[in-house]
Structure 1
């Protein structure tokens, strides 16, 4: 925070700074415990009628009375990153979209309308990566009509927390009554350190080994294949029955690989959510046996994206999620990738802890907003 020559804080922002990243110090609410001042850092998304709206990296919108300001200044658009690959928001957003493709899509200016029969929010939401070519309210009306024609709720996916993200759009959606249902972290990391965790003895090149159990040492035996078999889908928790839309989305992408650690044939249980797609409700496990662990990786140029990493609860804390990701990372390295990304919902503590241990850091957050009155 800046100080004047007299040692006092100074407010150095105005309404013309809307859209910039700011650091704001304000008087705490009267009677609030703790410090007298509260600091907020984020994007100044509006300044109207004596109230500032600052959107934090996580997407949280903070309303601040102008009369409570003690000091404020514009700060750099994003903090310097000490580790991990260099990545811009636009590049990452497009790579992620290609890695989880819809069945049907249509452009709306520089926005993309996406549908896949309702399977996951990501494949059934508008992706706004530029100008829709219409005033915002007209564009949102088009979004609602497009999804209504398909019998789907109208969702829009928007991001916060990095240079070039969409804090002002998020604030505008909330002002119009759009409900933020899900927030997820987009994390990035180096691919080689993850691949180094794989043991060559753990890799099985053939996918035709459904009955193969872990070896006597308990090490994971990871099979890699180009197509998910029925066993893989038995562990996958995002659908009860993998219909055509599910298979089209899951198998779509530039270069897709599926990993499986065969189970022991015992009763199946609800899977351990250690990093599957950040897309809403899950289903319980089936009644019969299933794999001990599965995973999916999409390789797209220098990027490898990890999704659907799931582990049988009976096999937790055995390193299976790490083994699956490491095996997929080795394959991605062989195809020329060097950087890794993944997505995880903010309330998935086990997955976030795993990703911390594997060296993945948060790049930005994305949010799914549902139109007011739109079906679920």
Structure 2
């Protein structure tokens, strides 16, 4: 808790603290005497017309009436994680982007516009890692026009929950009519323990290409177009793993992109009838050992917050949350 019962409650924040991480306590109900207290910690992303907007690390925003505040203060950035490799948000954001390289890209200042025929939001969204070189409102119009010219929905990929992340941009996107569609965690871990897992990797086949059988298990697209194959093959050093199944469809698959010290794990999927047999662990272990051979020492992956099975698996492998990422889509009138 940021506030204790014995401490003096004071509101020590103002609208000048927008953009800082704060902790606030407010009272709910009609009066302080009859109401209950609730706390919120996050980045103060706006303070307008008597209403505060606080964005939590998972990207959720809380609106608080100024009149309900009973305490508030600026607090330090979230403490560093106690396990896993250290990484700044910009470093990890660029590493994850290199694992999903688009067919087409264009710079807008420090933003990158990416398009790949619609295959994966990660390769079909604007990646804002700095100043677009113009007011944000104007940049967002440019983003909308760029994707409209390619008959694609306009997306912006953002992040929250790490030092230097983009809570303020998320709030601005919301004000300009963009709506968050998808959120996920980016997790990191030391790579060696994954490679050291006691997993049966004898049936895991590794390849530099995603063959037709691998793609039949992946099924994250309507048609295995050249764009799909190109994006999947993109990255500094790409490996595909598969475990033989029935009917020409693998029982399990995975993808790993080795990029300097980083090994990114993606597309780990298992036949529903073959789950709880350790196949996902075998795939991850085989890919980790190959990445270690290439000099990597740290691992990252992305997992949707509602995927409880995958989250439990990755917890057991030592993965810890680094930040959350989100895709905002232009909500056309």
Distance 1:198 1:191 in 2: 14
Pick the aligned partner of 2:224 from 215, 222, 242. 242
Count of residues in Structure 1 that have an aligned counterpart in Structure 2 = 331
Whether 1:231 aligns to 2:213 is yes
- Residues 29 and 35 of structure 2 are in contact (CA less than 8 Å); yes or no, is this contact kept in structure 1? no
Distance 1:225 1:135 in 2: 45
Distance 2:128 2:7 in 1: 44
Distance 1:243 1:225 in 2: 20
Within 5 Å, which residues of 2 pair with 1:1-376?
1=2, 7-30=7-30, 36-199=36-199, 202-203=201-202, 221-263=203-245, 265=246, 288-373=247-332
1:251-295 CA distance string (max 9 Å, x none): 0000000101111x2xxxxxxxxxxxxxxxxxxxxxx44101000
Q: 1:76, CA displacement in angstroms?
A: 1.1
Q: In angstroms, what is the RMSD of aligned CA positions?
A: 1.9
- Structure 2 counterpart of 1:274: none
Q: 1:108, CA displacement in angstroms?
A: 0.2
Q: Indicate how the Cα distance of structure 1 residues 35 and 324 shifts in structure 2: closer, same or farther if over 3 A, else same.
A: farther
- Residues 148 and 154 of structure 2 are in contact (CA less than 8 Å); yes or no, is this contact kept in structure 1? yes
- Structure 2 counterpart of 1:271: none
Q: 1:359, CA displacement in angstroms?
A: 1.3
- Residues 189 and 360 of structure 1 are in contact (CA less than 8 Å); yes or no, is this contact kept in structure 2? yes
After TM superposition, the score normalised by the length of structure 2 is 0.96
Q: Indicate how the Cα distance of structure 1 residues 190 and 29 shifts in structure 2: closer, same or farther if over 3 A, else same.
A: farther
Q: 1:302, CA displacement in angstroms?
A: 0.5
Q: Secondary structure at the match of 1:91?
A: helix
Gaps of 5+ in 1: 204-220, 266-287
Q: 1:144, CA displacement in angstroms?
A: 0.4
Distance 2:183 2:135 in 1: 26
Q: Secondary structure at the match of 1:330?
A: helix
After TM superposition, the score normalised by the length of structure 1 is 0.85
Distance 2:7 2:123 in 1: 53
1:62-82 CA distance string (max 9 Å, x none): 001111111111111122311
Q: Secondary structure at the match of 1:9?
A: coil
Larger strand percent: 2
Q: Secondary structure at the match of 1:323?
A: helix
Distance 2:255 2:197 in 1: 17
Gaps of 5+ in 2: none
Distance 1:349 1:80 in 2: 24
Q: 1:198, CA displacement in angstroms?
A: 5.0
Q: 1:2, CA displacement in angstroms?
A: 5.9
Q: Indicate how the Cα distance of structure 1 residues 173 and 244 shifts in structure 2: closer, same or farther if over 3 A, else same.
A: same
- Residues 2 and 73 of structure 1 are in contact (CA less than 8 Å); yes or no, is this contact kept in structure 2? no
Distance 2:30 2:51 in 1: 17
